[in-house]
């Protein structure tokens, strides 16, 4: 009977779906405002002075191309560093290990790995 229990446990473990890379960071930093599905319907969205963006439409509103660099800049916070915005700058929270990202102009840029993971997760949420 015990052997059957271990076999059943192993089968169930094999069926468990691992979260995509970046999902945990998204849940921790973004879902409160943008919602679990990214549609802008997070639990505190109604309390904000500006409605959170529907993150599932970033590609659609950019000619069908996911705006990776713009998304990284917006999340990090450096494009609007000196202007008022509702979304916080996450740059300091994303410090740590870096990876090399090739920018559109071919420049290799050391970028926080956690920022790359969140943006990759956002790309996976895109709807047509």
| pLDDT digits 0-9 by tens, 20-61 | 889 999 999 999 999 999 999 999 999 999 999 999 999 999
Average pLDDT rounded to a whole number, residues 97-107: 94
Ordered domains of the chain (ranges, CATH):
21-124 (1.10.760)
As a whole number of angstroms, the distance between CA 57 and CA 29 comes to 19
Interior angle at CA 74, CA 71 and CA 79, nearest 5: 125
Q: Do residues 119 and 71 lie in contact, with contact meaning Cβ atoms separated by under 8 Å?
A: yes
User: For 71-100, what is each residue's pLDDT tens digit?
Assistant: 998 898 865 555 556 788 888 888 899 999
How many other C-beta atoms can be found within 10 angstroms of the C-beta atom of residue 97?
8
Average pLDDT rounded to a whole number, residues 110-126: 96
């Amino acid at each position: 009977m015990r052997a059957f229990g271990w076999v059943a446990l192993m089968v169930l473990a094999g069926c468990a779906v691992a979260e995509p890379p970046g999902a945990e960071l998204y849940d921790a930093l973004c879902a409160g405002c943008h919602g679990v599905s990214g549609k802008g319907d997070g639990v505190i969205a109604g309390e904000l002075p500006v409605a959170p963006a529907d993150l599932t439409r970033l590609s659609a509103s950019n000619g069908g191309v996911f705006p990776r660099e713009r998304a990284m800049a917006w999340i990090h916070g450096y494009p609007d560093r000196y202007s008022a915005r509702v979304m916080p700058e996450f740059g300091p929270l994303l410090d740590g290990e870096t990876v090399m990202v090739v920018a559109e102009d071919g420049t290799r840029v050391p970028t926080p790995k956690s920022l790359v993971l969140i943006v990759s997760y956002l790309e996976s949420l895109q709807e047509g």
